[in-house]
Structure 1
Amino acid sequence: MPALKWGLIGASDIAATRVIAAIHATGAEVAGVVSGSPERARDFAASHGLPRNTADLDELLDWDIDAVYISSANALHFDQAVRALRAGKHVLCEKPLALGASQAEAMVTLAEETGLVLAANHHLPGSPLHVKARELVAAGAIGTVLSAKVAHAVLLPERLRGWRLGQGIPGSGVIMDITCHDASVLNPLLGAPVAVTALAVRQAGWNTGGQEDAAMTVIRYENDGQAPVLAQTHDSFTVGYAETSLEVHGTDGTIQIIDAMTQDTKGQLILTTGDGTRSVDVDCSEDLYVIGLRAFTAAVEGTGVPAATGRDGLMALKVALAAQESAISGRTVHIN
């Protein structure tokens, strides 16, 4: 199959710093970019050597492209993805897929009906560290899983302290930005999320946007015939001196991943059982976005599946939405 031709929807920081390079690393090409601002589209294309730019989405969808990468404002994801799918383009969409579960469900259904690939650009599920953790759990290395804990507290870079902290901006806040990523890791590891309890606060003195920048959640998971599993997450934009981590506790052991949740993780996986504690070799040398783009390409070619499918993105969104609702209402929120 010829190399994929991509169109970029959104002249974003993540496209500039991560995804364009990952697309090129898979041997694909980027045909150009669309942005709501003609000037931004032009400047972005010039900065990254893209041959075309436009402010008209329909024009981009008429180009000779196979797939689109959507990294526009969160409120635009649903409409842009639907238009791309209806135009016959495969879609890789930044999280969250949409602002509501019903919209994300409609995106997934449309992709299935049209036979096109829809994937969420969650970079963590494809990480070799998390793949290995899922393999160990599936093999019974720690017995029956009882609980999990995610530490995903980081310091938000100054260049990103814009819309993410703006109160009233759709999709802003630490829950939609980070807890959503946690769920993309926990869901395929633990099963079906059924209830979420969360608290969220504003901590940073530099956070003048008014949106919460730190949150803790407890998620209940259930699987038929097994005891419920509890997962705890700590997500923050305010912590500058801590490593991220994931722990999974079972009846016969514990998996601990140090430096587990960042974009450039060089983490270490440690397995502790009755036989002692040992480090499990995992090759973390490859860029996570290259892994994700390669998996997406394989899905388009019919030889694989995305690292995070559209349905995976939907379920991660449901957890984040439930956490957001719980933080506001002060109640446990059940997931349908």
Structure 2
Amino acid sequence: MIKLGIIGCGRISHRFMQGIKQVEGAEVTAAWSRRAESVEQFVNQYGGKACDSIDELLASDIDAVYIATLPDSHAEYSISALNAGKHVLCEKPATVNLAQLGPVLQLAKEKKLLFMEGMKPPFYPLYRKLKEYLLTDPIGPVGYVRAGSAVMDCPPDHPNYSYDLVGGAIMQIAPYEAFLALDWLGPMTDIQTMGRFSGKEVDMFAILQTQHQDGYAQLYCGFDLHGKGDALIVGTLGHITIHKNWWNPSKATIDYLDGRSIEIDEPFTAGGLNYETEHFCNLIRNGQTESPIITHELSRQMIAMLETSRKQIGLKFKGE
């Protein structure tokens, strides 16, 4: 049994609890949050120990932590957990920037502990089935990716809009698009970003055009428009549409140059975070300190993409 502690008891932690019920041999036994009232509510609903401090959480009988806070604290809590000898699954983005990520990955290496950024799409049954299908019926070399999401239903006081908590569309939504572009097109070689703030301290809409080792991507993210949320992956022999919401994928269509159209349906269960959590727990059992899917190098590339994009539109956070 792998015992986990949760740092942060906001919305994403509730989805995590929905998923972990489906992960065999794993349980959450302790929780802590910067807001004491949220911890009490959390353990009253799910069980486990409510900790008064992060030190108490890290001193408890847990093997790993799931960091579910906003990005402003990811690096700090990751370092604290690793120094306490705990494996770390940290919500995306792993840190605010590359300067923060480097020490986290170096410490994980020194401590021989697992650090993994939480990036759910590649672990979904649909995404895995799609990749497997393409091995025998490929669309040829991929040269273009288009993806994005814009949501208008966040309440005005949502932390996504907070400068101090490292909010904004690029930091909260674009990590998914960055993953997709890098996964299909390889390392980024150039980027052009346009964005608007719409009266906020953080970006409310941004468009990223990126050049990669194997092609180009056009990506968007936002909070002041409502976008469709599908993804297009284009190769020489056909193209793939991952239908909305592509980051929680359950259906894809492959249209081939020869006129064939293939539908792939693969529903997910328990909110979807269960798949990356299962992967994380299996890595711990196998003594692995890095995911072969969300590698440390991929995390570096995703953070670099977000950081460069932010700086191009003039968004720098404290200390940058």
Task: Report the TM-score when normalising by structure 1.
Answer: 0.84
> Which residues in structure 2 correspond to 1:206-225 (within 5 Å)?
209-222=200-213
* Structure-2 separation of matches of 1:99 and 1:85: 18
* Structure-1 separation of matches of 2:4 and 2:244: 32
* Structure-2 separation of matches of 1:140 and 1:110: 42
Q: 1:34 to 1:125 in 2, by over 3 A?
A: same
Q: Which residue of 1 aligns with 2:32?
A: 34
5+ residue gaps in structure 1?
A: 223-227, 330-336
Task: Determine which of 227, 236, 253 is the counterpart of 1:251.
Answer: 236
Q: Which residue of 2 aligns with 1:10?
A: 8
Q: 1:307 to 1:55 in 2, by over 3 A?
A: farther
Q: Which residue of 1 aligns with 2:298?
A: 312
Alpha-carbon distance, 1:175 to partner: 0.4
Q: 1:137 to 1:216 in 2, by over 3 A?
A: farther
Contact map agreement 2:130 2:264 (CA 8 A) in 1: no
Alpha-carbon distance, 1:34 to partner: 1.1
Q: Deviations along 1:103-126, whole A, 9 cap, x unmatched?
A: 212212222232211111112222
Size of the aligned set, in residue pairs, is: 311
Contact map agreement 1:74 1:99 (CA 8 A) in 2: yes
Alpha-carbon distance, 1:91 to partner: 0.5
Contact map agreement 2:123 2:275 (CA 8 A) in 1: yes
* Structure-2 separation of matches of 1:199 and 1:220: 15
Task: Determine which of 192, 202, 207 is the counterpart of 1:197.
Answer: 192
* Structure-2 separation of matches of 1:161 and 1:217: 26
Q: Which residue of 2 aligns with 1:92?
A: 89
**Percent identity for Structure 1 against Structure 2:** 23
Alpha-carbon distance, 1:283 to partner: 1.5
Alpha-carbon distance, 1:88 to partner: 1.3
Q: Which residue of 1 aligns with 2:42?
A: 44
Q: 1:38 to 1:259 in 2, by over 3 A?
A: closer
- Given the alignment of the two structures, is residue 163 of structure 1 paired with residue 159 of structure 2, yes or no? yes
Q: 1:43 to 1:236 in 2, by over 3 A?
A: same
Alpha-carbon distance, 1:69 to partner: 0.5
Contact map agreement 2:120 2:247 (CA 8 A) in 1: no
Letter in 2 for 1:38: A
Alpha-carbon distance, 1:278 to partner: 1.1
* Structure-2 separation of matches of 1:10 and 1:212: 24
* Structure-1 separation of matches of 2:314 and 2:129: 36
Q: Which residue of 1 aligns with 2:286?
A: 302
Letter in 2 for 1:162: H
Q: Equivalent residue of 1:55, what SS?
A: coil
Contact map agreement 1:299 1:306 (CA 8 A) in 2: no
Q: Equivalent residue of 1:96, what SS?
A: coil
* Structure-1 separation of matches of 2:36 and 2:239: 52
Task: Report the TM-score when normalising by structure 2.
Answer: 0.88
Q: Which residue of 1 aligns with 2:318?
A: none
- Given the alignment of the two structures, is residue 64 of structure 1 paired with residue 61 of structure 2, yes or no? yes
Contact map agreement 1:196 1:326 (CA 8 A) in 2: no
Q: 1:254 to 1:38 in 2, by over 3 A?
A: closer
Q: Equivalent residue of 1:119, what SS?
A: strand
Alpha-carbon distance, 1:134 to partner: 4.1
- Given the alignment of the two structures, is residue 285 of structure 1 paired with residue 282 of structure 2, yes or no? no
Q: Which residue of 2 aligns with 1:178?
A: 173
* Structure-2 separation of matches of 1:136 and 1:22: 26
Q: 1:98 to 1:190 in 2, by over 3 A?
A: same
Alpha-carbon distance, 1:309 to partner: 3.8
Alpha-carbon distance, 1:80 to partner: 1.0
Q: 1:275 to 1:260 in 2, by over 3 A?
A: farther
Q: 1:212 to 1:317 in 2, by over 3 A?
A: same
Alpha-carbon distance, 1:164 to partner: 1.2
Alpha-carbon distance, 1:270 to partner: 1.6
Q: Equivalent residue of 2:94, what SS?
A: coil
* Structure-2 separation of matches of 1:217 and 1:177: 14
Q: 1:155 to 1:279 in 2, by over 3 A?
A: farther
Q: 1:21 to 1:309 in 2, by over 3 A?
A: farther
Alpha-carbon distance, 1:191 to partner: 0.7
Q: Equivalent residue of 1:29, what SS?
A: strand
User: Aligned-residue CA RMSD in angstroms?
Assistant: 2.4
Q: 1:248 to 1:37 in 2, by over 3 A?
A: closer
